[in-house]
Structure 1
Amino acid sequence: MTETQRKIGFVVCLVTIVLAVLDMQIVSAATVPIVRDLDPAHGIDKIPWLVSAFALASAAMLPLYGKLCDVLGPKRVFTGAIATFLLGSALCGAAQSMTQLIAARAIQGLGGGGLMSVTMVVIAHLKGPEEKSAGKGTNVGGLVAGGAMAIGPWIGGLLADHASWRWIFYVNLPVGLAVLAASAFALKLPEQHVRRPIDYPGAALAAAFSSALLLVTDWGGKQYAWSSPVVVGLMVAAAGALALFLWRQTRAPEPVLPLSLFRVRELRLGFAIQAIMGGAMMCAIYYVLIYLQVARGIGSSSAGLYLLPMAVGMSATGLLSGPLTARGWTARTFTISGTATTALAFVLLATTTGPDTSLWLIRAELLLVGAGFGQLLGQLILLVQDAAPRHQLGVATTSVRFFQTLGTALGASVFGTVLARLYAAHGPGGDISALTRMTGAAHADGIQAFIDATQVVFWGGAGLMTLAALLALRLPRTRGSQGPAPVRESEPVAA
């Protein structure tokens, strides 16, 4: 590729990441107008599926996307994922019922699973040797993803308030078509001409496991009790699918997630830290927003603005990553510093959050949270890509996203259960939603019980990031990132 093509390729990848992350977050702020338009009588009961359908389809496709990249080459998979995403977006915008919208969100999620993960594979192929050593591109991609995650709900609220909710989906079409056109011109990537089998049974088992697990985390303690037959059945199904998947990976000639990857210390620690980070990031974003709305009476659109300092913190550490890398910082250094910084930020949130806490202090703490996560986003992917064998680059990269998705789902479920049960044990009314109907002393007691429960959640986030910091300390010391492992003579070589 020419230098111009490479630069266009980087821009294409960054825009694709923004599309992927925004569509995971943006719908949450537009649920009310969607329900009001499509099904005002019963649509409220179907709102969770607007998010779940996308997340389930996206997570189910991740292991397969990685293997397809290694077998077919990343460009074909990249363009296929974008085309599927755009088809789903068009169907979402044209939906005339909640059922149609949910089905279209699932189609959108099938493509969305590749937008984030496959894009990181493409970035790895676009980088030159000097950029691999500096982590350029991968780190920027991670920061763009984090910033989009932080401002997604705010953008969704603006579109819902000042335009039709359908534009949340229609806006993807011109941007996505431009991405397809630019990628056709700019992306000249290796393709595999030696056909290798794809472990479709393994991919199906991975999809069954992740779908069952995500449904457990989404339904458990909310739609159904944890001891209900539905949730228990899903737990059994997830455990069975996982056992069969692991068995399949030991026997498939081309496993969709080779267990040999876990023999590499950087990979297994990187996967674990990424999963922990997913749960902690959900804790920071979701429960700070709930605190602002429930305890401080701030509207949803205004509460979303409080995440901007978090995005600023991520961007600031992104700007500093270059000079720090030049001074000898490695992916390991960033990971240790990032996990420690985020753990400190959660400790501050846990100890200072109260009914009258200065909102500027909350902003400062979110800035620190962003500074911590900004050191991790991209660097963990770089760490994994550097350690992965070249012929397994796609599988290793998409696995990072897969474990983050599972960690996010588990974190949201566990923290949500902790918050609800602590409030039920110590607060009036038994349910947090009852706070909106309380007045006087009962309301004050309820707010205090909610804040006490929220502080425990933040302590949980601090504990998770402390564990991540301890794992980061076990990463092997290296001189720096040297790019993906070289291809051995016996490995398939891209043309």
Structure 2
Amino acid sequence: MTQNPSTAPTYRTHRQILVILGGLMTGMFLAALDQSIVGTALPRITSELHGLNKLSWVVTAYLLASTAATPLWGKISDLYGRRLIFQAAIITFLIGSALCGFARNIDELIAFRALQGIGGGGLMALALATIGDVVPPRERGRYMGYMGAVFGTASVLGPVLGGWLADGPGWEWIFWLNVPIGIVALVVTSIVLKLPHVRREHTIDWLGAGFLVAAVSSVLLYTAWAGPDHGWADGLSLSLLIGGLVLAAIFVLIERRAAEPILPMDLFNNSVFSITNALGMVFGISMFGAIIFVPLYLQIVMGMSPTRSGLGMVPMVAGLFSASIPSGNYVTKTGRYRMFPIASTIIVACALLLLSTLDADSSYLRVGIGMYVLGFGLGLTMQLLTLIVQNSVDVRHMGVATSTVTFFRNLGGAFGTAVFGAVLNSRLSHHLEVSLGSAPAGGSINTNNAAAIHNLPEPVRGKVIDAFASSLHEVFLTALPFVGVAFILTLFIKELPLRSRNTPVPATATEP
């Protein structure tokens, strides 16, 4: 099969790849760190800006913009080249970060977080797509493990840095810290990221892009804002959900007719592509749900400060490290990968069962074991899904295929966070009413502030903490059915031979 020179891969040597990887990981670290560093200081930030009632919008604005922008970055990078668009994403992220630090009211911060999110949506997907350009799939596993390690490092450093900066130099430095890191990423990528790109005739599908952004925005506003604030069956909430689904259907129709679609529908004819993305979305629901609520257990039930809870997450990161790098090396050595998603779902299910047994008197050792097992399970497959998708598509679709994996995983994460948050709030109200009676549970106890809970007098404090422990028990159990669905999906993943440096790339994006 003759390879079209405009889509021929530009695989590099191991030494060249390590240099390129350094620049890409710096950009990825920016996005990964932002996901964890802001949350610690968010109550203080919104309090100083007199916008505590809009706290959720600071998170929602970033999530909304980054998720909606991710497929667009991937497609544009396929058309114009990876380095230029990756650097544009970094610059957009840095401008948003700098403006966030200068925000003087909550509305400005929300707007600048949205701008920051637009850039953040491209950092992760484009870094992984670039790895797909320079490393053949057969060798890609060993490098994907290093990428997974970036997430683990950022998840520990983020809460620690966020708490320290908010208590010390000021919360503004949480955003300004991104600027020097981003400048280093720009310099390194300018020097080492020299990838040939052949321009081809194209037309940008602006209509499809508009409907995609509108559909994603409506669904995410339902899951992250309207549902939690107004009720899942409220008229406004249902209008957003139904509107999002209708817009998504129109988007599919547009993409089927577009000359250069943002998300080619032919990709979904490939069962590996469609099943792996479905798995990523379902896995994202359980993964993000668990990762978000484990720190809540450490802070509320165990009484740790935000900074200490960040350090308390080390076992999860250790588990992620100990699984991602060896599994990546194994895939590179043998070319076999199907066993890892299957094993991953089983291990994550065991971890959730273990975490669901925690109560107010559980030792940190017991919590740490649960976190380690959870991290190990996630590490087996978190980056491997990207490799599976990249191996199944034509090189010319590398950017859009990679960004689609991130897109569906983020959608799953947003949905999981909303669902598990609703479960927590519902069950917490129930347990508080049972243990304290209806009067105290109403409005006299601030359950949104860990410090306020631990300042409560006994026996109220103990009962509130017990109620939180019981509610988190049910949250972890709620995640289990989603892991079960993920396990079923893993059984349908086909194990295609991983392309090597000399393997011709499939000529189409349909079923190999």
Distance 1:211 1:323 in 2: 38
In 1, the alpha carbon distance for the partners of 2:352 and 2:256 equals 40
Q: Does the 8 Å contact 2:61/2:111 carry over to 1?
A: yes
Q: 1:447 aligns with which of 450, 458, 465?
A: 465
Q: Which residue of 2 aligns with 1:17?
A: 28
In the TM superposition, what whole-angstrom CA distance separates every residue of 1:175-199 from its partner, at most 9, and x where no partner exists? 2112112211111213232121121
Evaluate the alpha carbon distance shift between residue 174 and residue 442 of structure 1 in structure 2; reply closer, same or farther with a 3 A threshold. Answer: closer
Question: Contact 2:138/2:331 (CA < 8 Å) preserved in 1?
Answer: no
Tell me the amino acid that sits aligned with residue 99 of structure 2: L
Residue of structure 1 equivalent to 2:411: 406
Query: Does the Cα contact within 8 Å between 2:73 and 2:126 map onto a contact in 1?
Result: yes
Task: List gaps (5 residues or longer) in structure 1.
Answer: none
Counterpart of 2:101 in structure 1 is 93
Greater Cα offset, 265-274 or 480-489: 480-489
- 3-state SS of paired residue (2:230): coil
Equivalent pair of 2:142/2:332 in contact (CA under 8 Å): no
CA distance in 2, matches of 1:211, 1:267: 24
Matching of residue 215 in structure 1 with residue 221 in structure 2: yes
Worse overlay, 385-394 or 419-428: 419-428
Q: CA deviation at 1:71?
A: 1.3
- Which of 320, 342, 345 is the matching residue for 2:326? 320
**Structure 2 CA distance for partners of 1:117 and 1:438, relative to 1, 3 Å:** same
State whether residues 85 and 112 of structure 1, in contact with CA within 8 Å, keep that contact through their aligned partners in structure 2: yes
Report how far residue 279 of structure 1 moved: 1.6
Which of 126, 131, 151 lines up with 1:123 in the alignment? Answer: 131
Verify: 1:48 aligned to 2:53, yes or no.
no
Give per-residue Cα distances to partners, 1:369-402, cap 9 Å, x unaligned: 1111111121110011001121111111000000
Q: TM-score, normalised by structure 1?
A: 0.91
Match in the other structure for 1:291: 297
Q: Does 1:247 align with 2:226?
A: no
Match status 1:386 vs 2:391: yes
Q: 2:150 aligns with which of 141, 144, 161?
A: 144
Amino acid across the alignment from 2:180: P
**Stretch of structure 1 that moved more, 463-472 or 139-148:** 139-148
User: Which of 189, 195, 200 lines up with 1:194 in the alignment?
Assistant: 200
Q: Which amino acid aligns with 1:405?
A: N
The alpha-carbon deviation at position 416 of structure 1 amounts to: 1.0
The SS at the match of 2:229 is: coil
- Say yes or no: does 1:174 pair with 2:180: yes
CA RMSD of aligned residues (A): 2.4
CA distance in 1, matches of 2:102, 2:216: 29
Distance 2:272 2:503 in 1: 12
Query: Contact 2:146–2:325 (CA<8 Å) still a contact in 1?
Result: no
Deviation readout 1:431-470 (Å, 9 max, x if unpaired)? 8845938654555444333322211211122222232122
Query: Which of 439-448 and 341-350 deviates more?
Result: 439-448
Alignment: residue pair count: 485
**Secondary structure in structure 1 of the residue aligned to 2:334:** coil
Q: Which residue of structure 2 aligns with residue 422 of structure 1?
A: 427
In 2, Cα distance between equivalents of 1:112 and 1:326: 29
Offset of residue 35 of structure 1: 3.0
Query: Which shifted more, 153-162 or 70-79?
Result: 153-162
Q: Does 1:462 align with 2:480?
A: yes
Q: Which amino acid aligns with 2:130?
A: V
* In structure 2, distance between residues paired with 1:291 and 1:322: 31
- 8 Å Cα contact 1:390/1:484 also seen in 2: no
- Gaps of at least 5 residues in structure 2 are 1-11, 434-440
Contact 1:389-1:486 at 8 Å conserved across structures: no
- For normalisation by structure 2, the TM-score amounts to 0.88
CA distance in 2, matches of 1:225, 1:458: 22
CA contact (8 A) 1:9 1:187 kept: yes
Is the CA contact (8 Å cut-off) linking 2:301 and 2:465 kept in structure 1?
Answer: yes
CA–CA distance in structure 2, aligned partners of residues 481 and 312 of structure 1: 31
State the shift of 1:430 in Å. 5.3
- Give the counterpart of 1:84 among 73, 92, 95: 92
SS in 2 for 1:256: coil
Kindly, what percent of the aligned residue pairs are identical? 34
Q: Is the 8 A contact 1:279 1:412 kept in 2?
A: yes
Equivalent pair of 1:388/1:485 in contact (CA under 8 Å) = no
